[in-house]
Chain A
């Protein structure tokens, strides 16, 4: 048997990884994925078909072609963004062995990681195919074929460009590593220990476990990492919502904008709650005498205090609204303020030690609710209520985690 080249070895590895992941998904998850893909495709079809028909009637084939090309371009860009997101996480923690210890060109390893990062971008093919299908009967077949080919090329280009940009950013290095090629620098910087910097000395205190957890949350959320990123986004959205009142003159327009920003902030707080509730390292925290009640109170208390203060501030800032509407505003907005963070918190508590999974599930529920609301107004809230009830039923999982 002849020896395999590195390229053949990587191809075999990528094939095996794909096969293993496909097998690990299991029949039930395959069915769920297929159903979700069908829902996304159906939704996209109708969302594209109706305006495309309008464009065809008013501007003819060229206008409809331009419109469909714009839609497909947006999907290709979304694919690029997905690849960039995945490549970024692969750059900071590449799965696999200590790659640099193997006799391989760093560029070859980076190509493998690029290929891994481009896989999730294939998700953009589902809505793109549905969009192309929406053009059947409205555009000539040759135009549809050209658009489909153009999308494939644009997706390939966007994902490759995204990976290259992320690699460039990851390859920034100082010191001796700066002389190395970019691919090598990126891999070298992954494993190098973080620079040690001293933090303010901590103080031992007497306090309840829930209070100690809340203090821990605050410390973790102030340092770089996913919880801080979610809180920063929530803070930005909260500020934007409050700014909408003085910035927009028309009262009802201002209220709509402020509510949209407030709902976004609530969604980000839910993501923060999912990360913090699921993110405590099991070996460090689970052997401690902490109860589910402690873990719940620590996060729910902080979220309730923050959101309560924001709602009152909104009521005070909503000067363009009549006094009665201002008074009713905190009550009317209390549902998203409670529901979204609670959903994130309960999902996080039911998946201890698995923050990324908890956040993934949370985002999937939000996306489903959004789709439901776009299809039938307000149906999304029913979806969120159902999700919250289901997540609440899973809370005992905090005590007995599921095997991973």
Chain B
């Protein structure tokens, strides 16, 4: 279970998050939608323990990420929007490090890493330094490292952007499998169609606040020009539906 409680964060005078609260239950895949600068990445980075909040707390499997970071992070996976790695290391070297730190059994971790790498079409280049990898491959590696330990809470920050179609399908299948196994998944994306298909619920962020929380049955049907979530999204932004045509 992921609980975000009154999370606030400002950059100088600019408010990125203003008392944001919501929960993601075990087994649930929740979408996080918002315009550029709405605070999605700030929320996910704060929830992952990358940057401290000004106020509020994030509970991962009942543990506060900032008060009890080790316990919380043991249950957490995070796939970054702009993943960074030790450029000198091979992907497999990085994955062995992640597996060691997470205390995974070596044989099982190796088997799962190779299986996931095959599905994401990374397996032939696992022994190459990450420096030589493309942006899409780095995103896949970040996703692989995030799900390697079958986390109880998974944070995906635009995680599937840059994936080729087969890898995208494999990643979504893995997310659904993790959800079915009881993981709480928070999935941030700009692609509303992906969120519609993958998520049971959507949190809409607007200017650092939760503008709406929608269940699948709430967002209704789309039309020829807009997907159902696009209609809601444009409504929240206060933009007319004809904006695309105009």
Contact = CB atoms under 8 A, between A and B. Distances in A.
Contact of A224 (B83, B88, B93): B88
Nearest to B100: A212
A403 B85 CA distance: 20
Interface stretch (A18-26, A175-183, A256-264, A288-296): A288-296
B106 A206 contact: yes
A58 interface: no
Interface of A is mostly: loop
A324 interface: no
Interface string B34-63: 000000000000001111100000000000
Contact of B86 (A196, A197, A199, A216): A216
B94 A284 contact: yes
A236 interface: no
Contacts of B235: none
B101 A289 contact: yes
A272 to B, nearest CB: 14
Interface string A297-328: 00000000000000000000000000000000
Contacts of A203: 96, 106
A387 to B, nearest CB: 25
A283 interface: yes
Nearest to B12: A403
Nearest to A227: B88
A219 B88 contact: yes
Contacts of A195: 132
Contacts of B76: 287
A216 B100 CA distance: 11
B3 to A, nearest CB: 17
Contacts of A201: 92, 126-127
A201 B91 CA distance: 10
Nearest to B99: A204
Most chain B CB within a 10 A radius of its CB, from A194, A220, A224, A288:
A288
Contact of A283 (B80, B97, B132): B80
Given A195-B132, A204-B96, A206-B105, A286 B86 contact: no
B226 interface: no
Interface string B56-75: 00000000001001110110
Given A194-B132, A282-B84, A289 B70 contact: yes
A223 interface: yes
Given A196-B125, A212-B100, A403-B11, A282 B50 contact: yes
A401 B51 CA distance: 7
Interface of B: 11, 48-52, 66, 69-71, 73-74, 76-78, 80, 82-90, 92-107, 109-110, 113, 125-129, 131-132, 134, 142, 145-146, 155
10 closest Cβ pairs, A-B complex: A223-B88, A281-B84, A212-B100, A204-B106, A287-B78, A283-B80, A196-B132, A289-B73, A202-B93, A400-B52
Interface of A: 193-207, 209, 211-213, 215-216, 219-220, 223-225, 280-284, 286-291, 399-401, 403
30 contacts: A194-B129, A196-B132, A198-B90, A199-B128, A202-B90, A202-B95, A202-B96, A203-B96, A204-B100, A204-B110, A206-B100, A209-B100, A212-B101, A213-B101, A216-B89, A219-B86, A223-B89, A223-B129, A284-B85, A286-B49, A287-B76, A288-B73, A288-B102, A289-B70, A289-B71, A289-B73, A289-B74, A290-B70, A290-B101, A401-B52
